[in-house]
Structure 1
Amino acid sequence: MDFPNCTEGVFATSSSDYDSLEAAGLPTSKILLTLTLSIVAILTTVINCLVITAIVVTRKLHHPANYLICSLAVTDLLVAVLVMPFSIIYIQKESWDMGQVVCTIWLSVDITCCTCSILHLAAIAIDRYRAITDAVEYSRKRTGARAGVMVAVVWLLSILISLPPLLWRYHSEDSEQEDQCIITHTHLAFTLYSTLGAFYIPLLLILILYYKIYRAAQTLYMRREASRASRHSCMTNGSMIPSTYPAGDGDVDGGPRSPEPLSPPEKSVSEPSTEEREKVRVPVKTLKSKSRRRESHRTESRRCQMYQGPRISGSRERKAASTLGLILGAFVICWLPFFVKEVIVNTCGACSTSVEMADFLTWLGYLNSLINPLIYTIFNEDFKKAFQRLIRCKVRCY
């Protein structure tokens, strides 16, 4: 992501040095670096294409939550196709030889797509938080149209954040540097605007939401423990058949059921005597008592069923929270070093980074576009099955 000053003072060599480099051929280290970065770009393209295709062709994945994931994959695919190849050429040649028009387009796509990828993670965190904390109400509002609105807002914010750096470039000396394609500035307000909007505010939002999701998962886990205690009480205080499953792993339909009551005795056809009437009254009273106990058992059984929902939901949401935590960890590791460098370099006049370090931090951020779909592949069973079907289909076709 060639954000403001992300490849500062870079890739400028004299023409004589460049000619000698061309005559001698590329060094082995440069060839290996080019191959490595090309492999990263290809893998990012293939995996994000798999995610998009899986969501499009698999009916089970046609869910509003997955629309955000699909939009994230499209954004990461744009980074892989429109940003990474030009960056590889830039690093290999150590100067920009494709003209300022192409440079402007590349910078626009670079900043916008990388910012959009980051904001998508914040949007997914918001969606997951609402789905956990307000499940019943949000399930009604969680429609495809609402997901489309969220995607549109994310793209609009990304454009608003990335537009000022591009406009700044036309009013500075950057556009006059024909052999470079960078944006440099020294204004503190401009640095804060670009870095806060593109990274630090989304990071803070994701951290807060992830913490609340974790607390909500803990609450659901405590409800599951209460469910276990309630089921134990149901089985010990009532005449209910104990489940053969361990506590917490019983039947999803509502747990153990009460046994069927004894069938009433058959009446004699002849008119019963007084003594016989007294004998008949006892089973009738017993039958009424058993009927009341049966109703009581059913009430307790329904109460046990009510606790089954949080138990299942808690298991699913804890898994979702763990997945979100991995996404957050990958996001912080990939992008935090780059944006810390941005703040330090653009606010400290005596501070600078080497060309190699600037390239490394930029590509570390690009790597997040490869990691995002991998996380969904590993931890989402529906995606894994869809990927397996797609891969088997492609193998058969070939």
Structure 2
Amino acid sequence: MDFLNCTDGFFATSNNSYDSLENTKLPPSKIVLTIILSVVAILTTFLNCLVITAIAVTRKLHHPANYLICSLATTDLLVAVLVMPFSIMYIQKEMWIMGQAVCTIWLSVDITCCTCSILHLAAIAIDRYRAITDAVEYSRKRTFARAGAMVALVWFLSILISLPPILWRHFSSDPEHENQCIITHHHMAFTLYATLGAFYIPLMLILILYYKIYKAAQTLYMRREASRASRHSCMTNGSMIPSTYPAGDGDVDGGPRSPEPISPVEKSISDPSTEENPRDRARVSKAFQCKARRHDSRSESRKSQLYQGPRISGSRERKAASTLGLIIGAFVICWLPFFVKEVIVNTCSSCSTSMEMADFLTWLGYINSLINPLIYTIFNEDFKKAFQRIVRCSHYL
């Protein structure tokens, strides 16, 4: 996706490129690098195909929110199939040997799909923010048509952002770059347009939305715990929940409690009519004992839930924070170095990067297409079960 290099960037040809072509035997380092990058491309293809298949064949996953996940997986699959193989060949040969027409197509797909993948992450953040902050109203608006419209908008913006670099390359062809596949420019406006639209604006949107999502989830957990404690307090003072327990089962302070009141239904069973025969009375007494045991069990369960409530809430908050941190961290680590390099190289005339460093930063961004299907599905139990069925080649409902 190196569409902004005007120096010896990712697609730049080194001085020894022709010598490397003449030498038919690749050095061991190049062989190892080719194998590693090929494995990354294969894993990216497999994982994204797995996500697409799971959504397509699992009825439980047919949800508008998962359409964004499916579209993201499709975009990352295109990166793995149409972008990574050509990049591996380019790195291996150190020059472009497939003609300028193929170069233009490859650059178009590269820029569009990488930008689209980033914008999908922003769209998913918007969808999750609306779902947690306006759950009732947004659940009505969260339709398949709206999800399809959001996917179409993401692709439209991606094409809009990636089109100027391709047009600039077409109208400013340089004979010196005949054996290269790069886009050169010397305009600050061009750099700002491409980097802001493809990364920095989506990054700020993702950071702000996921911060608000975390705060909203934290507030929601606190309200639920307060509501649970309030319900327990009201039920404890009522007539259906015993306010006394056997010895050793009471509160921490071990204070005395009043005797347990009996509801009218329980009283009619415990005080049967004298006209009942002994067998019926024994049957009723046995049924009451069973019900009393179930009643005590439910009371103990409610009591344990009350004492474990803050602990559960804290666990959920930590899990939510770790999930959001993983999503944001993976995105920032993969793409931020590449776009920082693009801004520095194209705004500083004396700054440049080595071809190896440019290769590394570009593939670090490509790896985000490998990570996305993992972090956006691994925390969902429905996806986990669907993946297990697919791997086991089971039948689906």
TM norm structure 1: 0.79
Q: Provide the residue aligned with 2:227 in structure 1.
A: 227
Residue 129 and residue 314 in structure 1: after superposition, are their counterparts in 2 closer, same or farther (change >3 A)? farther
Aligned-residue offset at 1:375:
1.4
Q: Provide the residue aligned with 1:282 in structure 2.
A: none
Q: Provide the residue aligned with 1:33 in structure 2.
A: 33
One-letter amino acid of the structure 2 residue matched with residue 97 of structure 1:
I
Aligned-residue offset at 1:187:
0.8
Q: Provide the residue aligned with 1:199 in structure 2.
A: 199
Residue 55 and residue 174 in structure 1: after superposition, are their counterparts in 2 closer, same or farther (change >3 A)? farther
Q: Provide the residue aligned with 2:167 in structure 1.
A: 167
Structure 2: distance between partners of 1:316 and 1:126: 21
Could you tell me which of 10, 13, 16 is aligned with 2:12? 10
Secondary structure at 2:23 match in 1: helix
Does 2:214 align with 1:214?
Answer: yes
Residue 52 and residue 16 in structure 1: after superposition, are their counterparts in 2 closer, same or farther (change >3 A)? closer
* Matched-pair contact (CA < 8 Å) for 2:17–2:95: no
1:260-279 equivalences in 2 (<5 Å): 260-261=264-265, 262-263=267-268
Aligned-residue offset at 1:239:
1.9
Aligned-residue offset at 1:120:
0.1
Secondary structure at 2:240 match in 1: coil
Q: Provide the residue aligned with 2:101 in structure 1.
A: 101
Aligned-residue offset at 1:185:
1.5
Does 2:346 align with 1:350?
Answer: no
Does 2:137 align with 1:120?
Answer: no
Structure 1: distance between partners of 2:4 and 2:94: 18
Query: CA offsets per residue over residues 236-293 of structure 1, 9 Å max, x none?
Result: 321232699xxxxxxxxxxxxx9554449999xxxxxxxxxxxxxxxxxxxxxxxxxx
Query: CA offsets per residue over residues 5-63 of structure 1, 9 Å max, x none?
Result: 183562244575135422xx100000000000000000000000000000000000000
One-letter amino acid of the structure 2 residue matched with residue 141 of structure 1:
K
Query: CA offsets per residue over residues 203-226 of structure 1, 9 Å max, x none?
Result: 000011011101101111111220
Q: Provide the residue aligned with 2:276 in structure 1.
A: none
Residue 16 and residue 226 in structure 1: after superposition, are their counterparts in 2 closer, same or farther (change >3 A)? closer
1:22-101 equivalences in 2 (<5 Å): 22=24, 25-101=25-101
Please list every run of 5 or more consecutive structure 1 residues that lacks an aligned counterpart in the other structure.
245-257, 268-311
Q: Provide the residue aligned with 1:157 in structure 2.
A: 157
Structure 2: distance between partners of 1:390 and 1:9: 39
TM norm structure 2: 0.79
Q: Provide the residue aligned with 1:364 in structure 2.
A: 364
Structure 2: distance between partners of 1:344 and 1:205: 23
Query: CA offsets per residue over residues 286-324 of structure 1, 9 Å max, x none?
Result: xxxxxxxxxxxxxxxxxxxxxxxxxx9999898566434
Residue 15 and residue 151 in structure 1: after superposition, are their counterparts in 2 closer, same or farther (change >3 A)? closer
Residue 239 and residue 203 in structure 1: after superposition, are their counterparts in 2 closer, same or farther (change >3 A)? same
User: Matched residues, percent identical?
Assistant: 81
Structure 2: distance between partners of 1:174 and 1:8: 17
Q: Which runs of 4+ in 1 moved over 6 A?
A: 264-267, 312-318
Secondary structure at 1:378 match in 2: coil
Please list every run of 5 or more consecutive structure 2 residues that lacks an aligned counterpart in the other structure.
246-261, 274-311
One-letter amino acid of the structure 1 residue matched with residue 12 of structure 2:
V
Aligned residues: 338
* Matched-pair contact (CA < 8 Å) for 1:217–1:321: no
One-letter amino acid of the structure 1 residue matched with residue 76 of structure 2:
D
Structure 2: distance between partners of 1:55 and 1:366: 23
Q: Provide the residue aligned with 1:326 in structure 2.
A: 326
Residue 20 and residue 195 in structure 1: after superposition, are their counterparts in 2 closer, same or farther (change >3 A)? same
Q: Provide the residue aligned with 1:136 in structure 2.
A: 136
Query: Which stretch has the larger CA shift, 222-231 or 258-267?
Result: 258-267
Structure 2: distance between partners of 1:13 and 1:144: 53
* Matched-pair contact (CA < 8 Å) for 1:241–1:259: no
Structure 2: distance between partners of 1:91 and 1:242: 74
Structure 1: distance between partners of 2:175 and 2:166: 10
Structure 2: distance between partners of 1:371 and 1:88: 19
One-letter amino acid of the structure 1 residue matched with residue 58 of structure 2:
T
One-letter amino acid of the structure 2 residue matched with residue 11 of structure 1:
T
* Matched-pair contact (CA < 8 Å) for 2:10–2:359: no
Q: Provide the residue aligned with 1:386 in structure 2.
A: 386
Residue 242 and residue 185 in structure 1: after superposition, are their counterparts in 2 closer, same or farther (change >3 A)? farther
Say which structure, 1 or 2, has more relative contact order (CA 8 Å, 6+ apart): 2
Q: CA RMSD in A?
A: 2.8
* Matched-pair contact (CA < 8 Å) for 2:17–2:93: no
Structure 1: distance between partners of 2:314 and 2:69: 22
Secondary structure at 2:12 match in 1: coil
One-letter amino acid of the structure 2 residue matched with residue 113 of structure 1:
C
* Matched-pair contact (CA < 8 Å) for 1:2–1:362: yes
* Matched-pair contact (CA < 8 Å) for 2:214–2:320: no
Structure 1: distance between partners of 2:367 and 2:86: 15
Structure 2: distance between partners of 1:38 and 1:224: 49
Aligned-residue offset at 1:122:
0.3
Q: Provide the residue aligned with 2:299 in structure 1.
A: none
Structure 1: distance between partners of 2:132 and 2:155: 25
Structure 2: distance between partners of 1:217 and 1:318: 11
Residue 15 and residue 38 in structure 1: after superposition, are their counterparts in 2 closer, same or farther (change >3 A)? closer
Structure 2: distance between partners of 1:63 and 1:358: 40
Q: Provide the residue aligned with 1:338 in structure 2.
A: 338
Residue 137 and residue 260 in structure 1: after superposition, are their counterparts in 2 closer, same or farther (change >3 A)? farther
One-letter amino acid of the structure 1 residue matched with residue 20 of structure 2:
Y
One-letter amino acid of the structure 2 residue matched with residue 227 of structure 1:
S
Structure 2: distance between partners of 1:36 and 1:43: 11
